[in-house]
Amino acid sequence: MNGQTGPARPDPDQLLNRLQQEEDRARRGKLKIFFGASPGVGKTYAMLQAARRAREQGVDVVVGLVETHGRQETAALLTGLEQLPLKEVSYRERTLREFDLDAALARRPTLLLVDELAHSNAPGCRHPKRWQDIEELLDAGIDVLTAINVQHLESLNDVVGGLTGIRVWETVTDRLFDQADEVVLVDLPPDELLQRLKEGKVYLPEQAERAVENFFRKGNLIALRELALRRTADRVDDQREHYQQLTGSPLRATREALLVCIGPEPGQEALIRAASRLANKLNSDWHALYVETPALQRLPESRRRLILDTLKLAQDLGAQTATQAADDIAAAIVAYARDHRLNQVVVGRSRPGRWRGWRRALVDQLARLAPELDLLALARPETPQRTGAATGAATDREPAELAALMRPYAMTLAICLATALAATPLLPYFDLANIVMVFLLAVVGVAVRYGRGAAVLAAFVNVAAFDVLFVPPRFSLAVHDVQYLLTFAVMLIVGLVVGQLTARFRYQAHVANAREARARHLYEMARALSGALAVEQVIEIGERGVEASFRVKTRLLLPDERDRLQPLPVQPGKPKIDTAIAQWSFDRNDPAGLGTDTLPGSSVLYLPLKAPLRMRGVLAVAPERHRLVLIPEQRRLLDTFAALIAIALERVHFVTVARDTLVKMESERQRNSLLAALSHDLRTPLTGLIGLTETLALDLAAEESPHQESLAEIREQAVRLALLADNLLDMAKLQTGGIRLRKEWQSLEEVVGSALRLLEQPLRGHPLRLALDPKLPLLQCDGVLMERVLVNLLENATKYAPTGAAIGVTASVEAEQLRVEVWDEGPGLPAGQERALFEKFSRGHAESATPGVGLGLAICQAVVEAHGGRIQAANRTKGGANFAVTLPLETPPSFEIETEGNPALPAPSESHENPS
Amino acid sequence: MKTPLDPRLTVLMVEDERAIRRFVRAALEREGHRVQEAETLQQGLLEAATRQPQLVILDLGLPDGNGIDFIRDLRAWSKTPVLVLSARVEERDKVQALDAGADDYLIKPFGVAELLARVRAVCRRHEGEPGGEAAVSFGTIRVDWAHRQVTRAGEPVHLTPIEFRLLAALLAQPGKVLTHRHLLREVWGPAYVERGHYLRLYMSQLRQKLEADPAQPRHLLTEMGVGYRFSSQ
């Protein structure tokens, strides 16, 4: 069981986990806690000083809430710091002023001060506790400064209560304290604190003055100080170990893991806290288990609710919780411990001499069943205050429930009566020893049908009836023959044994049935979901599945494209949804509402639907009985249903995506074939036209015909028409839904060279100035389209620059970008039109005689932008236009270096291996 | 190119557009060639088998099929040079046609002069089978096959083995467009056919060593999106 006794080496998963936590933490805000032994040590003062220091360093500091308690020196520190206004919450005709979480989230300072970490919020606030507000702030990436006293730490609550005799009800889970990024201990020796108290520098609430005086006794203060110092030292210890673990230093060889068993009696919170402290000290995981036996199942609702509250407390303190239905508590505990590899079992110790309860037997049973487990019987402190509510609640059963409970007994009496009546006529014919069998049969029948209690009743009633009606002297309870006492005893024992067995089997059958039903529902829903092809189907199947498995009403909320949940119309028989809570749950991937830390007052539980890739929606669950969502097993089952629905939603989403992609591909294919056909149809007649004019031109030249000039003009126009068709088709290709770039590694020099060769003719009249950096890296681009850009820019230059004016291309690398400029010494661009130039059909001069439709530059822009680059037009200072294209450079591909001087050159056809 | 060109060729023209057929025929007959016409792919294959043309001019966009299939069929039994006519948007078709065995291509619309120049180049290449000479010259460059030596204006130029192999592959088929895949396979081997960046880099190095102005090459020409072509002019 304590299997992990391997070498002292850090577990890689654990390390990874830790690094992941580290990473999460980096994104979260930082929490700094000012920690003190008692009120009055100066936590708020220290916190404000830290805030002022941060502000001097230029940090954006805002005060969310600070309690000065009228102290002058503290209030003085507040001046000059930005303060958030408090939110007014009305509660029972009183107006309470509370910290405004939403305002803080909206303001988003770098550093926020929120005093009194342990404070409980007024009902109606988003979270019941302030520490939950702070968690949300941290999640939002806001750094928080806060303060807390040692007695408010959940795990020390009992200890402090025991030491000082004063209990505080506002507690904070230790997890927050342990996970805080920094804890600053604000320490003050008790004598100085008492001095301050005398001087009236410590705030004392009026009504509690007597209690507080009691509290501030020197002995108490010393004890509290010791606790605070110790707790801080523990934290430092943890940090050291954490550091060692990260740096690979020796680690504890075995890992302890605790299982704390919760009993049905009141006062289990102390046991939970003690276990939590122990687990903390051992730095181990811990589980809390409640085993529900048939007897415990009959506990009144309020008691069962209390047990669930205890489980919730354990969960809040960091335990993993479970309830299990079983007959044998010890066996269930051992099985659970073995399943979860827990090597220490903690149970509460019963007081000696009191009732021989299940505990003592339990420890012995556990020891017998699992000798390998360490057993810890913890002392059970007296905690009458907190549990008062439970003791008086034993009788608060509902009348209907009571009636249901009474029915078996009524039936039992009826059966007994019938038996007696049926047996009476038999008396003359049968021995009494045989007649008693009829009564025994009745007892067995009752036991089988109605369980143990009814069986006992039946045994007594039948014995009495048998005695009175059959055993001489008849019609009296007296018994002449002692041997009938044996008959009575046997009948009673048989009744008890059969009743006990029946009850057990019935219970097991009930549990098995419930499990089977859940498994079946889960299976049915999974099967139905796997066949769903539309979101509506998933919603319908999901809602029906959850409602069939639990006694709940559900609704499924789905987000739109911008991750806002779509509000649903109110439907009769469906729960009313608060979209704001649902959205909160969706955004933060945290359950909210009933039974959670966030707005537990709501009657609906909101479960986020988290699929592998992203959030898919929220499942709102409104149970008929609130208890449902508090039972860990039920919650886990609900989570399983939610996960199934989420995965189904994700699958359906991808089905839609795949279908859309297919449609898109098909339409692209059609577009391409249309463009290809169009291109073919346009070019073919032009080819004929140009070719025929040229052939004709040769004939006319031979004849020295006067029509030669006209023919040359026809050819010229046809060529222009061909160019126009090219441009139009290109533009159509670029415009109609995305260009498919055929990116390859290109050498810019080559692209420029190719463009220049295509324009050999038009460029003839212009001196060409090329300035290409010889060390230009390869560029990943669509070579044909990039050539087109250069051709268009150069062609543009030849159109506008007069014959003889120079045209140039320069290329260089500037800040991870390739910059290519095409310039000319022409008239330049009309001022103010640099941008408009790139618009389709736009041309620099409206009434220009220069041919072209102005599509060229628009094509350039579309191509360059598709490559993630920019194109800009400007006039050169020396006159003329300059078009600059900047393109992002990517890391060039790797090359196998060719080793020089290898004379044995393989023939080309054999050079399959690396050329070297 | 030692053997003089026979001016009279039989040319098979596979083209469905009458106007184009007509002017190509006029241009070629003016040069003294004989022209056979076919309107469809099937008819073209039939004509090619029966007439034994010395050149096929093929439109890629035929009504009854893909011109690339025509080339594949033809190449199964004939080495007759094929000149492909294509529209500019179909870059991939051109590469496919060249890889299938076409010798050159013309982009529509094209002029008479361009057509005749390509016809001459294709035929010259096929008439004078290269490989026999001990040395090749173009511009100021002389390549001595026997000694694996390259000189530029009489000065020796140092080429790495791969550069030399690339130059040899280009010079082996002067005037013909060699696709990227073809060159990569010939020079680097079949495992490299997808690594176009090798080709870009070595072409650039070759141009630096052999061209007067590498940005405006005269001999080692780029056919953007298709491949490279060596021109001896």
| Secondary structure (3-state) at A260 | strand
In A664-677, which positions are buried (b, 16+ CB within 10 angstroms) versus exposed (e)? eeeeeeeeeeebbe
DSSP designation for A172: B
Q: Minimum mean pLDDT among A575-579, B16-20, B137-141: which range? A: A575-579
| Secondary structure (3-state) at A484 | helix
CB atoms within 10 A of CB A457: 20
Please judge whether A691 and B186 are an interchain contact, meaning their C-beta atoms are less than 8 angstroms apart: no
The letter for the amino acid at A755 is A
- Chain B CB contacts of A753 under 8 Å are 214-217, 222
pLDDT value, residue B167: 92
In the predicted structure, residue A25 carries a pLDDT above the cut 70: no
Chain A CA closest to residue B15: A684
Please judge whether B197 and A893 are an interchain contact, meaning their C-beta atoms are less than 8 angstroms apart: yes
Burial of A102 (0-12, 13-18, 19+ CB in 10 A): exposed
Residues facing residue A886 across a β-bridge: A819, A870
Confidence of residue A245 (pLDDT cuts 50, 70, 90): low
Q: For residue A551, is it left (φ>0), alpha (ψ between -120 and 50) or beta? A: beta
- A784 in reach of chain B (CB within 8 A): yes
pLDDT, average across residues B141-164: 90
8 Å CB contact between A62 and A113: yes
How far apart CA A305 and CA A313 sit, in angstroms, is 12
In the predicted structure, residue B2 carries a pLDDT above the cut 50: no
pLDDT value, residue A905: 39
Please judge whether B187 and A911 are an interchain contact, meaning their C-beta atoms are less than 8 angstroms apart: yes
Residues 843-862, chain A, touching B (beta carbon < 8 A): none
pLDDT, average across residues A807-811: 93
How far apart CA A73 and CA B71 sit, in angstroms, is 97
In the predicted structure, residue A320 carries a pLDDT above the cut 70: yes
Question: Token pair of A485, please?
Answer: 């006492």
pLDDT value, residue A902: 42
The residues near B212 (Cβ < 8 Å, ≥ 6 apart) are B139, B140, B218
Shortest alpha-carbon distance between residue A768 and chain B (Å): 11
Please judge whether A751 and B224 are an interchain contact, meaning their C-beta atoms are less than 8 angstroms apart: yes
Quote ipTM for the complex. 0.87
Please judge whether A691 and B190 are an interchain contact, meaning their C-beta atoms are less than 8 angstroms apart: no
Backbone angles phi, psi at A550, to 5 degrees: -125, 160
pLDDT, average across residues A340-348: 82
How far apart CA A542 and CA A549 sit, in angstroms, is 11
- A741 in reach of chain B (CB within 8 A): no
DSSP designation for A424: G
**Which tens digit of pLDDT belongs to each residue from B153-206?**
989 999 999 999 999 999 888 888 899 999 999 999 888 888 888 899 899 999
pLDDT value, residue A388: 37
Please judge whether B88 and A753 are an interchain contact, meaning their C-beta atoms are less than 8 angstroms apart: no
Residues facing residue A288 across a β-bridge: A260, A321
pLDDT value, residue A140: 86
8 Å CB contact between A186 and A41: yes
pLDDT value, residue A88: 82
- A897 in reach of chain B (CB within 8 A): no
How far apart CA A466 and CA A484 sit, in angstroms, is 10
- A724 in reach of chain B (CB within 8 A): no
pLDDT value, residue A502: 78
Q: Closest Cα partner for A159 from A147, A146, A145, A174?
A: A174
Confidence of residue B151 (pLDDT cuts 50, 70, 90): very high
- Chain B CB contacts of A679 under 8 Å are 87-90
**Which tens digit of pLDDT belongs to each residue from A279-312?**
887 777 888 888 877 777 767 777 777 888 888 8
Chain B CA closest to residue A720: B109
Most confident of A143-147, A205-209, A901-905: A143-147
pLDDT value, residue A903: 39
In the predicted structure, residue A535 carries a pLDDT above the cut 60: yes
How far apart CA A136 and CA A99 sit, in angstroms, is 13
- A777 in reach of chain B (CB within 8 A): no
Give yes or no for a cis peptide into A473 (omega within 30° of 0): yes
Chain A CA closest to residue B90: A676
HEC per residue, A766-801? CCEEEEECCCCCCEEECHHHHHHHHHHHHHHHHHHC
- Rounded to two decimals, the pTM is 0.50
**Which tens digit of pLDDT belongs to each residue from A618-627?**
999 988 877 7
How far apart CA B198 and CA A117 sit, in angstroms, is 65
In DSSP notation, A609-650 reads EE-SSSEEEEEEEEESSGGGGGSHHHHHHHHHHHHHHHHHHH
CA B72 to chain CA centroid, Å, is 16
The residues near A18 (Cβ < 8 Å, ≥ 6 apart) are A242, A245, A246
For A69-200, strand residue ranges (E) read: 82-83, 87-91, 94-98, 111-114, 143-149, 182-186
Nearest to A688 among B23, B87, B224 (CB): B23
The owner of tokens 């066996």 is A331
**Which tens digit of pLDDT belongs to each residue from A581-594?**
888 889 888 888 88
The percentage of chain B sitting over the pLDDT mark of 70, rounded to a whole number, equals 93
Q: Measured on CA atoms in the order A437, A439, A445, A451, is the torsion positive or negative?
A: negative
- A720 in reach of chain B (CB within 8 A): no
pLDDT value, residue A629: 73
pLDDT, average across residues A641-645: 91
The letter for the amino acid at A659 is R
DSSP designation for B131: S
Q: Closest Cα partner for A111 from A87, A88, A134, A80?
A: A134
The percentage of chain A sitting over the pLDDT mark of 90, rounded to a whole number, equals 7
Please state, in angstroms and as integers, the Cα–Cα distance from residue A871 to each residue in A1, A779, A867, A887, following that order: 71, 16, 11, 9
Q: Closest Cα partner for A153 from A234, A74, A91, A213?
A: A234
| Secondary structure (3-state) at B154 | coil
**Between residues B179 and A561, which one has the greater pLDDT?**
B179
Please judge whether B19 and A752 are an interchain contact, meaning their C-beta atoms are less than 8 angstroms apart: no
Confidence of residue A380 (pLDDT cuts 50, 70, 90): low
**Which tens digit of pLDDT belongs to each residue from A644-684?**
999 999 999 998 899 888 988 888 788 777 877 887 788 88
In B177-188, which positions are buried (b, 16+ CB within 10 angstroms) versus exposed (e)? bbbbbbbbbbbb
Q: Closest Cα partner for B211 from B147, B149, B153?
A: B153
pLDDT value, residue A726: 80
For chain A, the average pLDDT equals: 79
The percentage of chain A sitting over the pLDDT mark of 70, rounded to a whole number, equals 85
Instruction: Give the strand pairing for B220-223 and B227-230.
Output: antiparallel
- A689 in reach of chain B (CB within 8 A): yes
8 Å CB contact between A322 and A353: no
Shortest alpha-carbon distance between residue A753 and chain B (Å): 5
Residues 189-228, chain B, touching A (beta carbon < 8 A): 189-191, 195-198, 200-201, 203-204, 207-208, 213-217, 221-225
Instruction: Give the strand pairing for A615-623 and A552-557.
Output: antiparallel
The residues near A425 (Cβ < 8 Å, ≥ 6 apart) are none
Nearest to B188 among A744, A753, A911 (CB): A911
- B32 in reach of chain A (CB within 8 A): no
8 Å CB contact between B134 and B175: no
pLDDT value, residue A913: 40
**Between residues A482 and A103, which one has the greater pLDDT?**
A103
Backbone angles phi, psi at A514, to 5 degrees: -60, -45
Q: Closest Cα partner for A268 from A363, A360, A102, A386?
A: A386
In DSSP notation, A537-569 reads HHHHHHHHHHHHHSSEEEEEE-B-TTSPBPP--
Please state, in angstroms and as integers, the Cα–Cα distance from residue B79 to each residue in A241, A629, B9, B56, B86, following that order: 81, 82, 15, 10, 21
pLDDT, average across residues A827-844: 67
| Secondary structure (3-state) at A320 | strand
Give yes or no for a cis peptide into B109 (omega within 30° of 0): yes
pLDDT value, residue A821: 93
pLDDT, average across residues A143-163: 84
The owner of tokens 């830790």 is A18
pLDDT value, residue B206: 92
Nearest to A729 among B89, B162, B168 (CB): B89
Confidence of residue B220 (pLDDT cuts 50, 70, 90): very high
pLDDT value, residue B221: 92
Question: Token pair of A867, please?
Answer: 């490559």
pLDDT, average across residues A231-246: 74
Please judge whether B204 and A749 are an interchain contact, meaning their C-beta atoms are less than 8 angstroms apart: yes
Q: Which helix (H) or strand (E) holds B59?
A: strand B55-59
How far apart CA A56 and CA A49 sit, in angstroms, is 11
In the predicted structure, residue A387 carries a pLDDT above the cut 80: no
DSSP designation for A753: H
**Between residues A207 and A229, which one has the greater pLDDT?**
A229
In the predicted structure, residue A909 carries a pLDDT above the cut 60: no
pLDDT value, residue A390: 37
